[in-house]
Structure formats: structure tokens, C-alpha cells
């Protein structure tokens, strides 16, 4: 009788533990872990949505009242190229959503207090007409 009970207990344990996954292991980026974050949220990147401007070796991302310098690299140039169709002039901004790493400005350097290194481009679109109203002098 004891052998049958132990056999049933072992069989029950092995069949119930068949689909367990290890902590930190995710097969789908939309799966939620114990802390309530998806795999995409656990990568340390921040989602920023705002106006992107690049002109004469200076790139800036304005998100609400905050302004970030943008690290000039291949991803930033890719973002600039994606927005060419939405610009009328070289100084026009575009509405973007990007994911990137925020970094404090190194001591002794000029620029904004924080820089963002773009890792992923989520969306690029034209600014709405009200946000693009600029007074141009001399024209």
C-alpha cells in the first residue's frame, strides 16, 4: 500500500512540474514576471516621446519641459533620416518615440544635464501644425 501511495505521489509531482520556467527566463517579451514588468521593460531603457531636432552637429530631444542632449551615433542618424520626409526645412523638428539609456552629462562638458543614447526607434511622425508655428524674421 505504501509503495502505491509513493508511486502516485511521485507521478503527481512530476506531471505538475512539467511546464515550470526558471526565474528570469522568458520566451515572450510580453510575458509579465513576478515584479509586474515585461522583458522589454527589464532591459533598463526608458521610453521618451517628444520633439527631435538635429542641426549642425547638435541633437536635442525635448520631452515636455525637459530637454535632453542626444548622443550622435548611427541610431541618431537613422532617426534623422527617417524624419526627412516630415521636415520642410533643416531646422524643423519631428515627433518621435524612442527607447534609450539616460546618462548624466560628464563633468566639465557643455550641454544639457542629461544625454540620451537611442537604442530603439518606436515611431516617427510630423509635428502637429500648432506645435510647428515659428516666427521667422527677415523673410
43: nearest Cα among 120, 122, 116, 107: 120
Q: Which pLDDT does position 98 carry in this prediction? A: 94
102 contact partners, CB below 8 Å, separation of at least 6: 46, 68, 114, 115, 116
* Full set of structural domains in the chain with CATH: 42-127 (2.40.50.140)
In the numeric block, the cell 511622425 is attached to 125
Residue 11 backbone dihedrals phi, psi, to 5 degrees: -60, -40
CA distance 85 to 90: 11
Q: What is the pLDDT along the chain (139 residues), one digit of tens a residue?
A: 777 767 666 666 666 655 555 555 555 555 544 444 555 666 788 999 999 999 888 999 999 999 999 999 999 999 999 999 998 888 889 999 999 999 998 888 888 899 999 999 999 999 876 555 565 666 5
What distance in Å separates the CA atoms of residue 67 and residue 15, rounded to the nearest whole number? 55
Amino acid at each position: 500500500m505504501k509503495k502505491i501511495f509513493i508511486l502516485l505521489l511521485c507521478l503527481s509531482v512530476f506531471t505538475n512540474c512539467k511546464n515550470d520556467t526558471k526565474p528570469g527566463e522568458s520566451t515572450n517579451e510580453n510575458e509579465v514576471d513576478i515584479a509586474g514588468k515585461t522583458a522589454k521593460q527589464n532591459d533598463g531603457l526608458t521610453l521618451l516621446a517628444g520633439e527631435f531636432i538635429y542641426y549642425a552637429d547638435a541633437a536635442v530631444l525635448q520631452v515636455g519641459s525637459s530637454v535632453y542632449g542626444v548622443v550622435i551615433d548611427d541610431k541618431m542618424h537613422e532617426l534623422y533620416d527617417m524624419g526627412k520626409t516630415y521636415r520642410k526645412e533643416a531646422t524643423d523638428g519631428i515627433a518621435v518615440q524612442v527607447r534609450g539609456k539616460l546618462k548624466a552629462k560628464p563633468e566639465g562638458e557643455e550641454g544639457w544635464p542629461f544625454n540620451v543614447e537611442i537604442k530603439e526607434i518606436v515611431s516617427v511622425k510630423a509635428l502637429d501644425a500648432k506645435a510647428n508655428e515659428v516666427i521667422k524674421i527677415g523673410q
